[in-house]
Structure 1
Amino acid sequence: MASHFTLRAVLVGLGIGVLLCFSNMYFGLQTGWISMMSLQSSLLGYAIFKPFQPMLRTKFTPVENVVLQTVAVATGTMPLAAGFVGVLPALELLTEDDHPGGAIVLSFRQMVLWSLGVAFFGVFFAVPLRKQTIIREQLRFPSGTATAQMIQLLHEGDEPATTVRRRRSPSQEDDEAEEEEEGTPLLEDAEDQQKDHTWHLKLKALLFSFSLSSTYTLLTYFFPVINKLPIFNWLCFNLVDFQAWDWYFAPSLSYIGQGIIMGLPTTLSMLAGCIVGWGILSPMAYYTGWAPGPVDDWKTGSKGWILWVSLGVMISESVLSLVLVTVTSLAKLYRRSASFDEANQDEAEKDVPKHMQVPNWVTIVGLIGSTLLCVALVHVVFGPILPTGLALVAVGVAMVLSVLAVRALGETDLNPVSGIGKISQVAFAGLIPGGIAANLIAGGIAEAGAQQAGDLMQDLKTGHLLGAAPKAQFYGQMIGSLVSAVVASCAYLLYRTVYTIPGPEFPVPTAQVWLDMSRLVNGQPLPPHVSSFVLGFAILFAAIVLVQHFESHRPWTRYLPQGMAFAIGMYNPPSFTLARVLGGILVYVWNGICNDSIRAAWLKDSPYRVLVGPVLIIIVASGFVLGEGAFALVNMIMQACHVPHF
């Protein structure tokens, strides 16, 4: 346990997590996009410890890296878990018609208390699910598995060696032992030199991409025009004013990096949503008089009109996907219980020793305590807006929906927190008719539980593959959540003080989605003529989900659009989507080059291609995202100090 849970891993994880928290707050307020950044956390953690490895009394090990990235992820994802990029800005947008007294603006103290209230119960929800989903069923949790592979790759050649768990026959183990015996010191020295050279290439790529993105971010402050290039106006010689419809290009390296992380299929789905929403539906709504206001107006403009269509797509895909995952999981559990015997028990992967697991009494006491803490702090912050009994019901609903979210995450790598929040809003509309503010708070509680549970389950999958102690990860998650309750509140307060939220720099589209959904389920009418489009697109994407589920073995199903990505492309302006698509193309081309499916003579013998390979593009993407996320804070300080710019 002591070798897994070390003070140095926790402190470095917190440092990285604070950076990720500010970065996620920045991107979340802009587009609603939040990333776990577990791969990036493990990479940064290793980069920090690598130069000091020869001087350390005990080496920085893979299991320490697991704890480090667990702490970092818990700290970095609080902007979404506590609703700083959705629920809290939505409460600030309330009008007198929505809620007596209008907008609800929390003070710093209230934000910290709210964050503490929703920060822990999702963690305790996840602990009992570990044995069933990870040990018995061995669900994939693709991001957690990828992080384990990244950590193994980073620490390859370090002592003590750790490998990702996999079944091997006795003959394979004998062959590996013979290969180890045949090794010579000369060969080992050569291998060590090559590994050091490979690491230096990775570090060089990370520093270069981080510096490039940081420089661009600083330049956007002094020369804002470079962040809005009207390339479509140039292409048509200004015969059509595309920029008036938000069609321009922002060459943001961070959003290119996001596109690299998302991959080409996801970004192409976003592009499809962007074209349909901003290229077809938006002009149509304006010229027919259905949305006569300014394009960027959430209430009367086409931006707000197409948001309803994207909301229909999100709800349709989220609800149906959760139903399918639930039915499939129950069927698997039934078959498993019907056929379970001693042979199957012997084949199951063994768990870590009991002393490395979270004790049952800690889970039970923690679940009760965190539930009571949530109910109490919600009452302190919001008073009678959400009655105590209904706050307790909200935690119960969050627990049920979190179980579904964890299973969906394990099967598909998608944590449907947005859909879960919407389901909770529908449920509470019947319990608190007309209570729009209470509806938002209850939905925020459900989203927090699903987010925290999902994050920990991905991390526990990583730890299981590398032999880390679940107890160490559990404590790391708790520490990260505790610290981030304060850090995230500080970050949001800074952005709210310096910038107008929502405003040109930070439109906070997710807040508008939350508010519109709350108004809808509480009886407020839809904008003119949008209902038929909402219904039509909801049916279309429900059909796509069914086809993807039942015809997944057919290759052509991979070309069908992803509903959530399509919806994001609709409610995000085209500039963000176009940059992400560029990133998706880059990762596709680079992977093709590395796999020799796309020939590039000038990169054929490149050390980056040969030695670093496909992981290089992830490293570059990490530098792009972290560079803008970090230096956005510098821009904010300059904005607060009124540093002159053009």
Structure 2
Amino acid sequence: MLQRQLNVILLRFRFSHTPESPLVSSASPEFTLRAVVLGLFIGCLLCFTNLYFGLQTGWISMYGVTLHPHVWSFTHFHRMSLQSAIIGFLICKLLAVPITPQENVVIQTTAVATGTMPLAAGFVGIIPALSLLDEQKDGSRPITLTWTSAVCWSCAVAYFGVFMSPPIRKKVIIEEKLAFPSGTATAQVISVLHKMPSTNSGLRARHGYSPLNLQDEEPPCLPDPVDDSQDPEIEASEVVQHEGWSALTWSFLASGSLTLAAYFFPVIFVLPLFGGYLARQWLWTFTPSLSYVGQGIIMGFPTTLSMNLGMLVGWGILSPLSKHYNWAPGPVGWILWTSLAIMSSDSLVALIPVAWEYASKLIKKHDVDGHRSDSDLDDETDDRLVPTRWVLWGIACSTAAGILVVWLVFGGEGIKPWATAISFILGSILSILGVRALGETDLNPVSGLGKISQLIFAVLQPGNVVANIIAGGVAEAGAQQAGDLMQDLKTGHLVGASPRAQFYGQLIGSTLSIPVTVTAFILYSKAYTIPGPTFPAPTAYVWLSLARLLRDGSLPEQCAVFMVSFAIVFALISAFKTHASRRGLWYAKWIPSGVAFAIGFLNTPSFSLARLVGGIIEHIYHTRVASKGKSDDIRLIVIASGFVLGEGVMSIMLLVLRTFGVGVVSCWGCGSGMCGGCPA
């Protein structure tokens, strides 16, 4: 009888778990040296990888992973959290080092905090933009940061978002219970890897399925024993343990080898699609990079399809049109403005329902009689939470230090201290909006939030391009960091990891990422021209172009007409997509994404086409090849991660070769200016 009651309790625990309750006991080891060291190691690899791809395409490894629709229906996975968790698990299995699920959370949290600095500190956007300044156009000479000044700048923006996360966590995760689909998906994978009770029952309940009724007087009949090999979670865990490391190794080596070959023979990555003329004049080439293919797999078919639709419109229609009518001398600059209008319109429209709901809830909260409800009570003990005094002192000190450091680095002529203070305040407000958008839609509209800050500072410090760019960067950094870290806190909440342990990992990861990111950027800057053929840094032109527009108000001929037209069209599309997504309609993911569409404008066709190949592979694999199991999803994620990391890690070796003067073997087939490794 006792055994039967114990089995009933265990069965009920498995089926009654919801995403808002921890999966395991808090007594498990969490913040350990091995977890932090492994997280830092993975994060440093991500840091180089994100900087490498960010300077190439402006779209770093914060992509959406489309998991099998019969298992996890989530898209737009970001920051390689899931990949970090799987790689950390694989390394521990290889070294025969046992880790707990909570340690796995600390690994991926630390890795993400380390790897996100290239974007949070603006090394793929605002830092290259400052180096493009022209004294005649912008009233300021180009600003090139030294190693020391770049470290100081990074310190100014590295911690504000970290200290903002704990109070926002209580609001959006504990009280409002926002979904944060990517964080939930990562928790599901960790639960699979460690054979924990699945979070799927809670998700099924949210989507209309009824979990086991705990009020039943009679205990349910226990199922007959089944073969463990038929359990999809055990199967998935076994796949990762037995096949995952092999798949990761081979995909890593394949991608790295192809990257090394393309370094010595650059034409490999610049294959003309429609002849030499279109390749030279209109940049219609194909880059058979396995890392791009892996990114396409991770992003999913709908996102890559949106990106390539934008590429076709931008590079196949608008660029030739502008050149034909003499609106612009070349293919890039003119369509950049239309891309900016699309991104801003899409991001801002997506924010409207989030801001409206947030304001409505604030009003309703003030209308109640002042009593606190149970919904705002945390399920963690005080010793596992981040103390409020730490948060207050951290926000105050990071803001004060940030204001001082920005003034020391850029001087009073760049941005006034009072303006920097306003940018931090604005960043905290935008962080809340960005986090809420991320929690509901799984998309952090940082590009639109940064543009809001630039618009505001066009009024506060008119005519100052440097101040406009820096203020936008400060505000965007806070929103970016707070959003990235909130997904990890959602994962930790589901898996039962201590928020304080994750907070420690975030602080340590953010600290180490500063010298790693700065050193990597300085090395890339010395070895390559940034922006240049190898690293075009497209988002740098977005920042600088908007700042220039707000300074003198001039646009290329006929550009305003197309900007307004595309902004209106994608505002309507974004509104329809947001409405369909909130209602859970099946076709919502096939409605074009404005941000992805605009990225297709920013990047040359070579970057988009290879990702489309990956998206097609992902779609065919899930619809025609894979069975309806978690092991298939994890296997594909492992292979895609190996592709991405292979080129990212190999880029470090290529950087060393280029620094020591080791160049290409042959420039055969390269047109003038087409190949980054060959002389023009």
Which residue in 2 is equivalent to 1:323? 352
The structural deviation recorded for 1:558 is 4.0
| Correspondent of 2:592 among 554, 558, 561 | 561
Q: Distance in 2 between matches of 1:187 and 1:196?
A: 9
Which residue in 2 is equivalent to 1:84? 123
Q: Distance in 2 between matches of 1:309 and 1:621?
A: 32
Instruction: Report whether the alignment pairs 1:282 with 2:315.
Output: no
Q: Distance in 2 between matches of 1:388 and 1:404?
A: 25
* 1:325-368 Cα distance to aligned partner (Å, 9 max, x none): 111333355567879999x9668896222221111111111111
Q: Distance in 1 between matches of 2:159 and 2:621?
A: 40
Q: Distance in 1 between matches of 2:183 and 2:365?
A: 24
Which residue in 2 is equivalent to 1:575? 606
Provide the secondary structure at the position in 2 that maps to 1:170: coil
Asked if structure 2 preserves the Cα contact closer than 8 Å seen for 1:594 and 1:614, the reply is: no
Provide the secondary structure at the position in 1 that maps to 2:251: helix
The structural deviation recorded for 1:523 is 2.2
Instruction: Name the TM-score, length of structure 2 as normaliser.
Output: 0.84
Alignment of 1:391-406 (within 5 A): 391-406=420-435
Q: Distance in 2 between matches of 1:7 and 1:257?
A: 31
What amino acid is aligned across from residue 288 of structure 1 in structure 2?
Y
Provide the secondary structure at the position in 1 that maps to 2:532: coil
Which residue in 1 is equivalent to 2:132? 93
| Correspondent of 1:30 among 56, 61, 67 | 56
Asked if structure 1 preserves the Cα contact closer than 8 Å seen for 2:90 and 2:240, the reply is: no
| Correspondent of 2:338 among 309, 323, 332 | 309
Q: Distance in 1 between matches of 2:295 and 2:326?
A: 36
Q: Distance in 2 between matches of 1:149 and 1:216?
A: 33
Indicate the larger mover: 192-201 or 518-527: 192-201
Q: Structure 1 residues 338 and 95 mapped into 2: Cα distance closer, same or farther (>3 Å)?
A: same
Which residue in 2 is equivalent to 1:586? 617
Q: Structure 1 residues 271 and 486 mapped into 2: Cα distance closer, same or farther (>3 Å)?
A: same
Asked if structure 2 preserves the Cα contact closer than 8 Å seen for 1:71 and 1:477, the reply is: yes
Instruction: Report whether the alignment pairs 1:619 with 2:647.
Output: no
The structural deviation recorded for 1:323 is 2.1
Provide the secondary structure at the position in 1 that maps to 2:452: helix
The structural deviation recorded for 1:536 is 0.6
Q: Distance in 1 between matches of 2:601 and 2:296?
A: 16
The structural deviation recorded for 1:244 is 2.7
Aligned residues: 610
The structural deviation recorded for 1:642 is 2.1
What amino acid is aligned across from residue 253 of structure 2 in structure 1?
S
Q: Structure 1 residues 583 and 193 mapped into 2: Cα distance closer, same or farther (>3 Å)?
A: closer
Q: Distance in 2 between matches of 1:474 and 1:340?
A: 34
Alignment of 1:83-482 (within 5 A): 83-156=122-195, 161=196, 163-164=198-199, 166=202, 169-170=213-214, 195-196=237-238, 199-233=241-275, 241-292=278-329, 301-332=330-361, 351-384=379-412, 385-482=414-511
The structural deviation recorded for 1:191 is 10
Provide the secondary structure at the position in 2 that maps to 1:75: helix
The structural deviation recorded for 1:200 is 1.4
Asked if structure 1 preserves the Cα contact closer than 8 Å seen for 2:192 and 2:198, the reply is: no
The structural deviation recorded for 1:417 is 1.2
The structural deviation recorded for 1:193 is 9.6
Q: Distance in 1 between matches of 2:291 and 2:216?
A: 44
Q: Distance in 1 between matches of 2:136 and 2:216?
A: 70
Q: Distance in 1 between matches of 2:530 and 2:642?
A: 27
Asked if structure 2 preserves the Cα contact closer than 8 Å seen for 1:439 and 1:518, the reply is: yes
Q: Distance in 2 between matches of 1:439 and 1:347?
A: 40
The structural deviation recorded for 1:204 is 1.7
Provide the secondary structure at the position in 1 that maps to 2:135: coil
Q: Distance in 2 between matches of 1:272 and 1:611?
A: 31
Q: Structure 1 residues 199 and 527 mapped into 2: Cα distance closer, same or farther (>3 Å)?
A: same
Instruction: Report whether the alignment pairs 1:637 with 2:637.
Output: no
Structure 1 unaligned regions, length at least 5: 293-300, 597-608
Asked if structure 2 preserves the Cα contact closer than 8 Å seen for 1:218 and 1:631, the reply is: yes
Q: Distance in 1 between matches of 2:556 and 2:221?
A: 70
The structural deviation recorded for 1:591 is 1.1
Indicate the larger mover: 10-19 or 325-334: 325-334
Instruction: Report whether the alignment pairs 1:41 with 2:84.
Output: yes
* 1:459-490 Cα distance to aligned partner (Å, 9 max, x none): 00000010000011111111111111111000
Asked if structure 1 preserves the Cα contact closer than 8 Å seen for 2:244 and 2:635, the reply is: yes
* 1:575-627 Cα distance to aligned partner (Å, 9 max, x none): 1111111111111111113566xxxxxxxxxxxx8782122221111111111
Structure 2 unaligned regions, length at least 5: 1-25, 63-78, 203-210, 667-680
* 1:513-568 Cα distance to aligned partner (Å, 9 max, x none): 00001111122411111110011101111111222234554555543211100100
Asked if structure 2 preserves the Cα contact closer than 8 Å seen for 1:213 and 1:254, the reply is: yes
Q: Structure 1 residues 449 and 192 mapped into 2: Cα distance closer, same or farther (>3 Å)?
A: closer
Instruction: Report whether the alignment pairs 1:74 with 2:113.
Output: yes
Asked if structure 1 preserves the Cα contact closer than 8 Å seen for 2:140 and 2:466, the reply is: no
Q: Distance in 2 between matches of 1:63 and 1:176?
A: 31
Q: Structure 1 residues 191 and 380 mapped into 2: Cα distance closer, same or farther (>3 Å)?
A: closer
Q: Distance in 2 between matches of 1:52 and 1:175?
A: 43
Provide the secondary structure at the position in 1 that maps to 2:271: coil
Q: Distance in 1 between matches of 2:524 and 2:219?
A: 58
Q: Distance in 2 between matches of 1:530 and 1:4?
A: 54
Which residue in 1 is equivalent to 2:526? 497
| Correspondent of 2:39 among 1, 9, 13 | 13
- The structure with more helix, counted as a fraction of residues: 1
Provide the secondary structure at the position in 1 that maps to 2:349: helix
Q: Distance in 2 between matches of 1:183 and 1:174?
A: 23
Asked if structure 1 preserves the Cα contact closer than 8 Å seen for 2:235 and 2:631, the reply is: no
What amino acid is aligned across from residue 569 of structure 1 in structure 2?
G
What amino acid is aligned across from residue 446 of structure 2 in structure 1?
V
Q: Distance in 2 between matches of 1:382 and 1:550?
A: 43
Asked if structure 2 preserves the Cα contact closer than 8 Å seen for 1:28 and 1:508, the reply is: yes
Q: Distance in 1 between matches of 2:630 and 2:357?
A: 41
What amino acid is aligned across from residue 146 of structure 1 in structure 2?
A
The structural deviation recorded for 1:639 is 1.6
The structural deviation recorded for 1:196 is 4.1
